[in-house]
């Protein structure tokens, strides 16, 4: 009577501390340049070595430019990237350096290289580590002090979260993507509705979803407060992972798959909470506020003060003041200044195929600045190999270099103050894409349609 989460958790427990946390073994630690310098300093201060450097992989991504990768002009960003390289060299950790074929956004590279595998416990000092749960792993973001714990002991102290299952049943409408599913769930659950839970996504819609779609959905789990998002591995998972660089090979692969097939919630497993949504209720989505849960159907209207509770009115007023929108406003048709395709949410090959399917044979609106940024060098090469780069070029778009890019304002791809960006990234917080920037979250199809027309556009209408 175990959930999938229970099975992975229990298999990694080293010790249950009475009236305290659990000591949990960690299979994989990912490191990027932003949250790890202090963790390595902690090891130096205590004279401790990294226990299992072969279980740790590192790469810069947040500060990486997308226009060129010969240099980083910002001195803070350059120091963070250089420090990561130095720490990896000192402690014997595999480092995928900026500009090399192995580099990219850490949450894109992990799955595509087969470093993230079913049944693993995976951590990183980054909230969107939940992405890796799409392969059937327990993947959690952790703090800097916890990164130091894993470096030193390959373990972490954690209170066991509660379990939740979110079922999505039915067939998605044309023009509706995994990003829209995630934005819909967040609007229903709110940004704190899954706080304290590990969420398992299940149902026929999830079973029929591609791996890229599952990775997008799991990526956004953190945005409703959950500790992790997880999807039971199946034939789709195995087909995606087979032949990947670090995945098991030959007989080891066959044995691994037999074990991975056991990674599912038992039929009589009981969850602490369970909810079900219908796929046919989900339309293409956009956000109107300054958190990912503040969203509506693309043909809907911004909530009015009468539609929300008294406590929510102050928050709604603040969001609309920042976004320069009005209560009851219809956002479809609103002029956009910037369009962004990329991030660990939507920087994979399927996202580029979707974007290209909309812009093929059309032209980018001349007033729109567009950043088209693959999540890894492998994705960029796939884009070129499939001729998608030519489709983009003919439509007036430039294929840039792998980077977190405009997902967050830690590299040159910043949206200027007051400008409106429609973005495939994961967060629309105040100043997230640049000081004073206004962000609307949407799917690759919606961003593509908007880049062509110059206004927020329902992709079903192109």
First-to-last C-alpha distance (Å) of the chain: 48
Give the per-residue pLDDT at 44.
97
* Core vs surface per residue 130-146: b (16+ CB within 10 A) or e: bbbbbbbbbbbbbebeb
pLDDT, tens digit (0-9, with 9 covering 90-100), for 327-377: 999 999 999 999 999 999 999 999 999 999 999 999 999 999 999 999 999
- Domains 4-260 and 285-461 belong to one CATH topology: yes
Please name which of 208, 275, 263 lies closest in space to residue 236, comparing C-alpha atoms: 208
Q: Are 171 and 150 in contact (CB under 8 A)?
A: no
Range 4-260 has CATH code 3.10.150.10: no
Give dist(CA 104, CA 69) in Å, integer: 12
Please tell me the total number of residues recorded for the chain in this structure.
462
Domain segments of the chain as ranges: 4-260, 285-461
Report the C-alpha gap between 331 and 58 in whole angstroms. 40
Give kind and range of the element (H or E) at residue 451: helix 444-453
Q: What is the pLDDT of residues 65-115, one digit of tens each?
A: 999 999 999 999 999 999 999 999 999 999 999 999 999 999 999 999 999
| DSSP per-residue codes, 383-436 | HHHTTHHHHHHHTT--B--SS-GGGSSSSS-PPPTT-EEEESSS---TTTTSTT
Average pLDDT over residues 211-237: 98
Residue 177 reports pLDDT greater than 90: yes
The vertex-414 CA angle with 102 and 351, nearest 5°, equals 50
285-461 in CATH: which number?
3.30.499.10
Q: Please check the confidence at residue 210 and state whether its pLDDT lies above 90.
A: yes
What's the pLDDT score for residue 99? 95
* pLDDT per residue as tens digits for the range 273-295: 999 999 999 999 999 999 999 99
pLDDT tens-digit series, residues 193-204: 999 999 999 999
């Amino acid at each position: 009577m175990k959930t999938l989460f229970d099975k992975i958790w229990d298999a990694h427990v080293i010790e249950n501390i009475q009236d305290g946390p659990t000591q949990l073994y960690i299979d994989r630690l990912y490191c990027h340049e932003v949250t790890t310098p202090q963790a390595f300093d902690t090891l130096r201060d205590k004279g401790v070595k990294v226990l299992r450097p072969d279980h740790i992989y590192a790469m810069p991504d947040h500060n990486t430019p997308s226009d060129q990768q010969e240099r980083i002009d910002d001195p803070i960003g350059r120091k963070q990237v250089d420090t990561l390289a130095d720490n990896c060299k000192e402690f014997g950790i595999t480092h995928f350096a900026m500009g090399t074929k192995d580099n990219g956004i850490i949450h894109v590279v992990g799955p595509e290289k087969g470093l993230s595998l079913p049944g693993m416990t995976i951590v990183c000092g980054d909230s969107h580590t939940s992405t890796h749960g799409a392969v059937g792993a327990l993947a959690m973001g952790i703090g800097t002090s916890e990164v130091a714990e894993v470096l030193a002991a390959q373990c972490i102290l954690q209170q066991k979260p509660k379990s939740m299952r979110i079922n999505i049943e039915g067939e998605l409408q044309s023009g509706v993507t995994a990003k829209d599913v995630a934005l819909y769930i967040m609007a229903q659950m709110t940004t704190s509705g899954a706080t304290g839970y590990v969420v398992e996504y299940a149902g026929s819609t999830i079973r029929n979803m591609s791996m890229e779609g599952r990775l997008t959905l799991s990526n956004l789990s953190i945005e409703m407060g959950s500790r992790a998002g997880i999807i039971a591995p199946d034939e789709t998972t195995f087909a995606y992972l087979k032949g990947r660089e670090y995945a098991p090979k030959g007989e080891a692969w066959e044995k691994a798959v037999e074990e991975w097939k056991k990674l599912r919630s038992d039929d009589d497993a009981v969850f602490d909470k369970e909810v079900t949504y219908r796929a046919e209720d989900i339309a293409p989505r956009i956000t109107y506020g300054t958190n990912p849960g503040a969203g509506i159907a693309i043909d809907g209207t911004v909530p009015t003060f009468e539609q929300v509770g008294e406590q929510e009115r102050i928050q709604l007023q603040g969001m609309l003041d920042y976004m320069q929108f009005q209560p009851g406003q219809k956002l479809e048709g609103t002029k956009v200044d910037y369009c962004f395709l990329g991030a660990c949410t939507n920087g994979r090959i399927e996202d580029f195929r979707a974007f290209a399917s909309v812009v093929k044979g059309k032209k980018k609106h001349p007033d729109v600045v567009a950043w088209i940024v693959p999540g890894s060098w492998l994705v960029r090469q796939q884009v070129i190999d499939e001729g998608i780069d030519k489709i983009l070029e003919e439509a007036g778009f430039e294929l840039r270099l792998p980077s977190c890019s405009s997902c967050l304002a830690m590299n040159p791809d910043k949206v200027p103050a007051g400008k409106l960006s429609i973005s495939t990234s994961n967060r629309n917080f105040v100043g997230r894409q640049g000081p004073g920037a206004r962000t609307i979250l949407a799917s690759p199809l919606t961003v593509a349609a908007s880049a062509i027309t110059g206004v927020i556009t329902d992709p079903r209408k192109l």
